[in-house]
Amino acid sequence: MEAYLADWLNLLARWLHFVTGIAWIGSSFYFIWLDNHLEAPAEPADGDKGVGGELWAVHGGGFYHAQKYRVAPTRLPATLHWFKWEAYTTWLSGMFMLALVYWYGADVYLVDRQVADLSGTVAIGSAIALLAGGWFVYDLLCRSPLGSREGPLAAVLFVLVALLAWGVCQLYGGRGAYMHFGAVLGTIMVANVFFVIIPGQRAMVDAAARGEVPDPTPGIKGKQRSVHNTYFTLPVLFVMTSSHYSMTWGHEYNWAILIAISLAGALIRTWFVARHKGAASPATIVIAVALLLAVAAAIAPRSRAADAAAATGATIRDVRVVIEHRCVTCHSESPSFAAFPAPPGGVVFDNDEQILAEAGRIHQQAVLTRAMPIGNLTEMTDDERALIDAWYGSLASSDED
């Protein structure tokens, strides 16, 4: 019953996280797009009253006229809409899921003693330190003299993000490592909103309400952090979906794959931002696509099964013994492992027909990516993985014949 309740909490939190994430990212992307499409006001009177740019749009059967002030209007409107709870709720629901899945279930989803022999307490403590430390270092850099030099700042941030990707993959199992990499970036994003963007906007609103000319500095700083957030977005979205793709986080060089795909995501977003302003060089999108193709080629399966099969004569009977000892605790109609009230992914290995039907997936997960058993909780040996590789090779050879 405990695992069943945890599943329901996971489902509801994930749903909330997904919905609020769409709202946050959607509004963020929209305002970046809006800023980059503003034109000088057509009416001189608008320029005289402080309008710095405007945009006409049509959507949903209606016309919209958006204007942006250089600093603030001389009189604040009665109703002023803020965009903050989308970000806060996305982060809070994400942290709830992180705690529920990866901290409460640390021995299953976070700790992999083949990577680092950590206790659950140490793993969780280090994860919390990473979340706080990531924001502290990033914020310190942005507030330093380097913060006013976007090119050098971007280079330093890329190096630090790459080190983060490498570091988490040396501490945690691949799936947990990827998720905590994304959680650090997501924490930086929401902290930008909470500590910089919203307080800056509030200071400008308060000054305008007092009839003073607002200091534009908070707005400039907030815009910088908002732009940083938009470049973090695609890497974070990749991480949110990565648990379905063990070919990435289960690979020996999972850290390099994470760096490459994150860089590709940032480059794709760079191209879109540039495209908003007009004609954009295709260089960034070409590099991003080349990176993704290079990763796909580098991690493509290369099985040695055919030779091994001839040497060992592996059969379904041999593989069944391994599956029963290492996999059926989870992948059964009635899992004996307490963390799973139902077989993960609906995959069941209770008989030979089911094993044969999932042969490709077994080979992918146990041999090519070594992602299963998750965290190697049942301690599948290298010899057992080689046996599965050999058996799968014999199946492939017989299919070719």
Q: What is the pLDDT of residue 395?
A: 82
pLDDT category at 124 given cuts 50, 70, 90 is very high
Alpha helices in 38-115 (DSSP H): 44-48, 85-97
Which range (4-8, 12-16, 31-35) has the least confidence?
Answer: 4-8
Tell me if residue 81 falls in helix, strand or coil. coil
Between CA 401 and CA 387 the distance in angstroms is 21
Task: Check pLDDT > 70 for residue 186.
Answer: yes
Reported as a pLDDT band with limits 50, 70 and 90, residue 138 is very high
pLDDT band at 309 (very low <50, low <70, confident <90, very high): very low
CA pair distance 202, 204, nearest whole angstrom: 5
Average pLDDT over residues 217-235: 93
pLDDT given at position 303: 55
State which H helix or E strand residue 52 sits in: strand 51-59
Q: Which residues contact 219 (CB under 8 A, 6 or more apart)?
A: 71, 200, 201, 204
d(CA 346, CA 332): 9
Mean pLDDT score, 96-121: 92
Higher pLDDT, 393 or 99: 99
Query: Which pLDDT belongs to residue 1?
Result: 65
Q: What is the model's pLDDT at position 63?
A: 95
Residue spans per domain, the chain: 82-298, 305-400
Name the percent of the chain lying above pLDDT 70: 95
Task: Say if strands 62-69 and 51-59 run parallel, antiparallel, or are unpaired.
Answer: antiparallel
Mean pLDDT, to the nearest integer, of 192-207? 94
What pLDDT, on a 0 to 100 scale, did the predictor assign at position 377? 80
Q: Which residue has the higher pLDDT, 370 or 94?
A: 94
Q: Using the predicted structure, report yes or no on whether residue 311 has a pLDDT greater than 50.
A: no
What is the pLDDT, as a whole number, of residue 315?
86
Could you tell me which residues come within 8 angstroms of residue 275 by beta carbon, excluding any fewer than 6 positions away? Answer: none
Is the model's pTM score more than 0.75?
yes
Cβ-proximal residues to 61 (8 Å cutoff; 6+ apart), any chain? none
Give me the pLDDT at residue 164, please: 98
Under the banding of pLDDT at 50, 70 and 90, the label for residue 400 is very low
Least confident of 212-226, 258-272, 329-343: 329-343
Can you give the pLDDT at residue 401?
46
pLDDT band at 305 (very low <50, low <70, confident <90, very high): very low
pLDDT at 276 over 90: no
* Band of pLDDT at residue 177, cut at 50, 70 and 90: very high
Provide mean pLDDT across the span 162-191.
Answer: 97
How far CA 280 is from CA of 135, 181, 227, 244, 287, in Å, comes to: 32, 30, 17, 33, 14
